[in-house]
Structure 1
Amino acid sequence: MAATFAGVSTAALAAESGMTNWQLGFQRSVTEVMDDITWFNSFTLIIITVITLFVLALLIVCMSRFSAKANPVPSRTSHNTMIEVAWTVVPILILVVIAIPSFRLLYKQLDIPEYDMTIKAIGYQWYWGYEYTDEGMGELYFDSLMVGDSSDPAADLAERQEVADARGVSIAEVPRLLAVDYDLVVPVDTTVRLQVTSEDVIHAFAMPSMGLKIDAIPGRLNETWFHAREEGVFYGQCSELCGKDHAFMPIAVRVVSKDQFQTWASAAQDDLDTANEQLMASIADAKKVAESGQNEEVSVAAK
Structure 2
Amino acid sequence: MRKLGHQKHYYVMLLPGMVWLALFNIVPMFGILMAFQNFNPGAGLFKSEWVGLDNFTYMFQLNDSKTVIINTFIIAIGKIAFNLLVPLVFAILLNELRGMRYKKLVQTVVYLPHFLSWVIMATIVIGIFGYYGVINTIIGMFGGDPKLFMADAGIFRQLLIGTDVWKEFGFNAIIYLAALTGVNLNLYEAAAIDGANRWHMIRHVTLPALSTTVVLLGVLSLGNVLNAGFDQVYNLYNPLVYSTGDILDTWVYRLGLQNLQFSLATAAGLFKSVISFVLIFISYRLAYRYADYTVF
Quickly name the TM-score band, shorter chain normalised: under 0.3
Higher relative contact order (CA 8 A, sep 6+): 2
Q: Which of the pair has more CA radius of gyration? A: 1
Compute the TM-score of the two structures, normalised by the length of structure 1.
0.20
Higher relative strand content = 1
